[in-house]
Amino acid sequence: MSKKKSEQLGMNPSTASGRLVKDVLWKLIVEAGQNMCYACSEEMTRETFSVEHKVPWLDSENPVGLYFDLENVAFSHKMCNYSRARKVQRDKTHCPAGHVYDEINTRMTNTKGYKGRECIACRNSRNKERCTAGTKEERQRIRRASYKREKEIKRNLGPLAQ
Ligand SMILES: [Zn+2]
Ligand SMILES: [Zn+2]
């Protein structure tokens, strides 16, 4: 059935359904006169609008609550939404686990042009969990090196690392 739908629609049925929902939503937004950007107050189009959370839900105390709270939802240009989200991320001083973002513990990342920050302490503990490859001696060597790195970071972070 799903194959037949895909063939007749010329696309994945869930892609089609997502597009339809967005078409309907946009029609209602225009009818309700809500087609001005929440962030910059300029007019949006079907192609440029996005659903934005006024109070960011990601890494918050109550992610599910904030995500589904309709009072917390607004419409804004994709680009306005993106740059606001970026600013929120930039203003953060600690990672979700509570490590401080400072010169020693912060690694700049660039994934397909999206620049971000990564907590080195979290990265190291993730790498440690994942490490099951190689011989026993190799694993020991890697573990020791990563343990040393982590100890160095903790020393530099002080009480925040606990
Ligand atoms: Zn805007
Ligand atoms: Zn961290």
- Identify the pLDDT of residue 124: 86
- Identify the pLDDT of residue 157: 59
Six-digit token string for 160: 């925040």
> What Å distances lie between residue 49 and 13, 19, 77, 86, 132, CA to CA?
22, 13, 5, 17, 45
Distance 97 CA to ligand 2 centre (A): 5
Per DSSP, 60 falls in state S
Amino acid found at 1: M
Q: Which ligand places an atom closest to the C-alpha of 122?
A: 2
- Identify the pLDDT of residue 162: 41
Q: Which ligand places an atom closest to the C-alpha of 101?
A: 2
Going by DSSP bridges, is the β-strand pair 114-119/106-111 parallel, antiparallel, or unpaired? antiparallel
- Identify the pLDDT of residue 161: 43
Low-confidence ranges of the chain (pLDDT < 70): 114, 128-134, 150, 152-162
- Identify the pLDDT of residue 43: 97
- Identify the pLDDT of residue 2: 81
Cα within 13 Å of Cα(122), Cβ side: 14
**Phi and psi at residue 83, to the nearest 5°:** -70, -30
Q: Which ligand places an atom closest to the C-alpha of 102?
A: 2
CA 29 to chain centre: 26
Distance 101 CA to ligand 2 centre (A): 8
Is the pTM higher than 0.75?
A: no
Residue located via tokens 């939404």 = 81
